[in-house]
Chains A and B, each alone.
Chain A
Amino acid sequence: MASKLLRQTLTKTNRSAAIRCFSTAASVASPSEYEYPTGITMKGVKISGRPLYLDMQATTPVDPRVLDSMLPFYLSRYGNPHSRTHLYGWESETAVETARAQVAALIGASPKEIVFTSGATESNNISIKGVMHFYKDKKRHIITTQTEHKCVLDSCRHLQQEGFEVTYLPVGSDGLIDLDRLGKEIRSDTGLVSVMAVNNEIGVVQPIEEIGKICKEFNVPFHTDAAQALGKIKVDVEKWNVSLMSLSGHKIYGPKGVGALYLRRRPRIRVEPQMNGGGQERGIRSGTVPTPLVVGMGAACELAMKEMEYDENRIKGLQERLLNGIREKIDGVVVNGSMDRRYVGNLNLSFAYVEGESLLMGLKEVAVSSGSACTSASLEPSYVLRALGVDEDMAHTSIRFGIGRFTTEEEIDRAVELTVKQVEKLREMSPLYEMVKEGIDIKQIQWAQH
């Protein structure tokens, strides 16, 4: 019966044929109010089809192989992994432990050092607040950078309100921190150094190995947010000398809602739990471990290990194609962040003499993010770009292109075409650009006050 259904559905491209076989459901999954056969209308925007996705730093699509590994745990193997008395619990627990080993293998750790959480944000909270609260008698100082993820900065601000001291290291115009400055800022009461491995906005890869060496020298625990780095660059907790590492599931083609925290055992780093309860995950994070999500994360990690080299080579080629394609047609394109120490799948570009919001409004067929996405409610340019020293007007026009495993050459070509068209159109209308073409230096203009 199942194979007949399979054959029917696979041979007929008409989807409604498959649906008629399942007469119970009212209609197919979630009929959308905004999708019509002619296109999509949402928030006043009309497009003819689903946009091409170039926002891999925000989230990634779930790989079908990952989905395949997760589905049995939603269908028949739905037990709670903490149930000790029956098969449902045992099989669920086995699956969780397998996933734990898969995650550990990708980062060069032991499975006993992995704690599953609800995401990298939770892992960051546990690392920063947990470590500082545990050692609060002796250690009152944290060092982090100005370009960290919002959750790290917010946790540090919360600690500041409790009386801890925080040093926010500045970054150079290439996005990298100054290692000598880091060494100087470390004090005797420094409890934690937190530097993210790959920045989500500009894609810059920090010198984690060197930072690890400095922290080892001064015997300070080192935490890194590796949400964007996992599965993309080589992560090795021994080489990096990290004591804590935050990992995210939905950045490596896994499901949303799951992440992990690496906690070193030798030398042991202790944290105060942020979630109290039944003592699951060695007391660090109580709560039922979501088996399907965790299995998905494990499968995604195993896949990442196999596919890392293949993906990286492809994505590198696509990034060059994108950058060269745009640079061939228009000038005044600036790459934000260091070009050499960068993850290949992240390209953050600023277009001179173009207004950011209008550029984004014209790029509705490409799903990209602007530099000020996180702070778009306030129209403030991104704090990361500000930390890089990028001018306000350039920061406003920044666009972040995220390339991933499933991006095709055609999508890159189409994105280049659409971006170039939109930028040219906006520059055509811009009086500032006219003045620049005539050779006037905009910064020297004395604007008359009326």
Chain B
Amino acid sequence: MAASGVASPTRTEVLQLYRSLLRVARQFSDYNIREYSKRRTIDAFRDNKNLTDPSQLSAAFSDGKAQLEVAKRQALVYSLYASKVKSIMDIKPS
């Protein structure tokens, strides 16, 4: 995927992407997928924190946006087929 010629994302755009990914992650009805999405987003953004090369930055940013689209679709699919009973990890001990 040729990333040259595409402008690097601005700081605001990156933060917006980060917040959107976390927001969609919170919407997963499945406990494990929800936790994974949150954790993976945080770790991925942290690992890429020090990227400076513009082509690498654009590539990572577009990858992030593609992942956001996948996550949005799947959050919907998971909610349509969610189990009536929640995972034991989601049930607070009474």
The distance in angstroms between the C-alpha atoms of A9 and B73, with both chains bound, is 11
Please determine whether A6 and B72 come into contact, CB atoms closer than 8 angstroms: yes
B79 touches A410 (CB 8 A): no
Residue of B nearest to A3 (CB): B72
Most B Cβ at <10 Å: residue of A6, A32, A36, A49: A49
A28 within 8 A of B: yes
List, in ascending order, chain B residues with CB within 8 A of A19's CB: 80
Query: CB-CB < 8 A to B27: which residues of A?
Result: 10
Bound-state CA distance A377–B27 (Å) is 41
Contact B33 A64 (CB under 8 A): yes
Q: Does B35 contact A (CB under 8 A)?
A: yes
Whether A53 and B32, one on each chain, are in contact in the complex, defined by CB atoms closer than 8 angstroms, is yes
Cβ-neighbour of A32 out of B24, B84, B86, B89 (below 8 A): B84
Instruction: Report yes or no: B88 in contact with A365, Cβ–Cβ below 8 A.
Output: yes
Count, A-B residue pairs, CB within 8 A: 89
- B78/A64 in contact, CB under 8 A: yes
A35 at the interface (CB under 8 A from B): yes
CA distance A401 to B87 in the complex (A): 18
Cβ of B81 and Cβ of A28 under 8 Å apart? Answer: yes
Q: For the complex, is B57 an interface residue (Cβ under 8 Å from A)?
A: no
Say if the beta carbon of B62 comes within 8 Å of chain A: no
Given A39-B85, A365-B88: A6 and B70 interface contact (C-beta under 8 Å): no
Whether A52 lies near B84 (C-beta < 8 A) is no
CB of B21 within 8 Å of the partner chain: no
Q: Contacts of A29 on B, CB cut-off 8 Å?
A: 80-81
A39 to B83 Cα, complex, angstroms: 11
Q: What is the CA–CA distance of A414 and B71 in the complex, to the nearest angstrom?
A: 28
Q: Which of A53, A365, A408 has the most CB of B within 10 A?
A: A408
User: With A and B bound together, what is the CA distance between A32 and B82 in angstroms?
Assistant: 12
The answer to whether B76 touches A6, judged by C-beta atoms less than 8 angstroms apart, is yes
Give the number of chain B interface residues (Cβ < 8 Å).
34
Chain B residue, CB-CB nearest to A414: B89
* A contact patch SS: mixed
Q: Which residues of B contact A67 (CB under 8 A)?
A: 74, 77
Q: Are A406 and B32 in contact (CB-based, < 8 A)?
A: yes
In the complex, residue of chain B having the shortest beta-carbon distance to the beta carbon of A39: B85
* CB-based nearest A residue for B91: A49
State whether A47 touches B36 (Cβ < 8 A).
Answer: no
Which residue on chain A has the smallest CB distance to residue B63?
A: A306
- What is the chain A residue whose CB lies nearest that of B47? A310
Contact between B70 and A48, CB atoms less than 8 A apart: no
Encoded as 1 (CB less than 8 Å from any B CB) or 0, chain A from 394 to 425 comes to 00000000000111101100100000000000
B93's nearest neighbour on chain A, judged by CB, is: A48
- Please judge, given known A-B contacts A64-B71, A68-B70, whether A52 and B77 are in contact too, CB under 8 Å: no
A61 at the B interface (CB under 8 A): yes
Q: Give the complex CA separation of A400 and B80 in angstroms.
A: 33
Q: How far is the CB of A295 from chain B (nearest CB, A)?
A: 14
Let me know if A50 and B76 touch, CB within 8 A.
no
The answer to whether B85 touches A50, judged by C-beta atoms less than 8 angstroms apart, is yes
Say whether B79 contacts A411, CB under 8 Å: no
Give the distance in Å from the alpha carbon of A278 to the alpha carbon of B90 in the complex: 50
**Residues of chain B contacted by A36 (CB below 8 angstroms):** 84-85
Q: For B90, list chain A residues within 8 Å (CB).
A: 49
Q: Name the residue of chain A whose CB is nearest to the CB of B36.
A: A406
Known contacts A53-B32, A65-B70, A67-B74; is-contact A9 B89 (Cβ 8 Å): no
A37 near B43 with CB under 8 A, answer no
A68 lies within 8 A of B81 (CB): no
Q: Which residues 29-80 of B have a CB within 8 angstroms of A?
A: 29, 32-33, 35-36, 39-40, 43, 67, 70-80
For A410, the closest partner residue in chain B by CB is: B89
> Contact string, A62-96, partner B, CB cutoff 8 A, digits 1/0?
00110110010000000000000000000000000
Q: List 23 contacting pairs A-B, 8 Å CB cutoff, sorted by A.
A: A6-B76, A9-B76, A10-B75, A19-B80, A28-B81, A35-B84, A39-B85, A40-B85, A47-B88, A48-B91, A49-B85, A49-B89, A50-B83, A50-B87, A50-B88, A52-B89, A61-B32, A61-B33, A67-B77, A405-B36, A406-B35, A408-B89, A411-B89
| Top-3 shortest CB links A-B | A49-B88, A64-B74, A406-B32
A residues with CB within 8 A of B: 6, 9-10, 15, 18-19, 28-29, 32, 35-37, 39-40, 47-53, 61, 64-65, 67-68, 71, 310, 365, 405-408, 410-411, 414
